[in-house]
Amino acid sequence: MATRASTAVTPSRRPQLPPPRDRARLRVLAHRLDMKASPYAYVAPYLLLFCAFGLFPLLYTAWVSLHDWTLLSDTHTFVGLGNFQALLGDEYFWNAAFNTLSIGVLSTVPQLALAIWLAHLLNRPLRAQTIFRVTLLLPNVTSVVAVVVIFSQLFGRDFGLVNWVLSWSGAQPVDWNAGTASSHVAISVMIMWRWTGYNALIFLAAMQAVPRELYEAATIDGASGFTQLRRITIPMIRPTVVFVVITSTIGAMQVLAEPLLFGVYSLTGGPDRQYQTLSLFIYENFTKLDFGYASAISWMMFLFIVVAAAVNYLLTRRARGSLT
């Protein structure tokens, strides 16, 4: 009876609009929904695109690498680790790995040393700070295609500016493109030119957060600029140094456009593969439509990157011990 009474009473109680209490409840509900759900709505565009065009290709590469997979055929035979096995016996692969390492070391080590030093110089009160910073970044704004086209001209054998300048000291013209060592140097110079200023700015940003008193104390103690750089600046900005070393390593392992264009679009990186990098080797197999093999190289490259980054991380971390 009680229930019937309540149902009988309700309609007469309810006016046209819901009572204020119900509206408030609705609002609370909407608010709660807003609080709970809207964060997902805000990251959804990012997540959807990321999964479709970032995560999916990444995982799918692993799947493709386990197959004999070309665009020419509809059947993709599962070969397990066969591609990787073939890769380890492929002398072109090891050649590309060596070239990548060589160009990586030649371009990264001097580049980072120079970048730290430049940042150190810029970290002083100077006139025209902004102009110097802008010119530092100018090479980085220049596209890699432009850089290589320009530097290929500069490194020309017969009429290049570099050989002309070298000839002042009586040196014979160098055929930069032909040799292994000379081509690695030329490519490394292009990479250095493009990235030194960028890294210097990152270092500079970190240096500006180092407390000034440290330098004042060091100056009173009579420490030179170089000692201050070695004993104060570098230890204080170590996280940034680690970060830059790792990102530079990753970048160096992926070098592609420089050797591709330096070889005037040769996928083999010169007639003797003297500067074919791993990325270029991937691209060569990609254009042969040998997707399974190319995917296997990609994963090997990723493995190298992880190892190289880990080694560099440990080395940079260890440098801490000797510095502080």
Residue ranges in 29-68 that form contacts with another protein under rule CB under 8 A: 31, 34-36, 38-40, 42-43, 45-47, 49-50, 52-58, 60-61, 64
Residue ranges in 66-85 that form contacts with another protein under rule CB under 8 A: 71
CA 253 to chain centre: 9
**Which pair of tokens denotes residue 107?**
């371009």
Residue ranges in 122-161 that form contacts with another protein under rule CB under 8 A: 122-126, 130-139, 141-154, 158-161
- Contact, 297 vs 64, CB < 8 A? no
Question: How far is CA 211 from each of CA 161, 217, 232, rounded to the nearest angstrom?
Answer: 44, 11, 10
Cα separation, 199 vs 140, in Å, equals 10
Residue ranges in 228-257 that form contacts with another protein under rule CB under 8 A: 228, 237-240, 243, 246, 250, 253-254, 256-257
Judged by beta carbon, residue 9 or residue 33, the one nearer another protein is 33
Instruction: Write out the DSSP string of 2-23.
Output: HHHHHHHHHHHH--SSPPHHHH
Judged by CB under 8 A, the residue of 96, 103, 118, 234 near another protein is 118
If one asks whether residue 270 binds another protein (CB under 8 A), the answer comes out as no
If one asks whether residue 119 binds another protein (CB under 8 A), the answer comes out as no
If one asks whether residue 312 binds another protein (CB under 8 A), the answer comes out as no
If one asks whether residue 183 binds another protein (CB under 8 A), the answer comes out as no
Which residue has 């680790």 as its token pair?
81
The contacts of residue 312 (CB under 8 Å, 6+ apart) are: 245, 246, 249
**Which pair of tokens denotes residue 21?**
């209490």
Judged by beta carbon, residue 120 or residue 273, the one nearer another protein is 120
* Dihedral sign, Cα of residue 177, residue 179, residue 185, residue 187: positive
Residue ranges in 275-304 that form contacts with another protein under rule CB under 8 A: 279, 282-283, 286, 291, 294-295, 298-299, 301-302
Min CB(220)–another protein separation in Å? 10
Judged by CB under 8 A, the residue of 174, 186, 201, 245 near another protein is 201
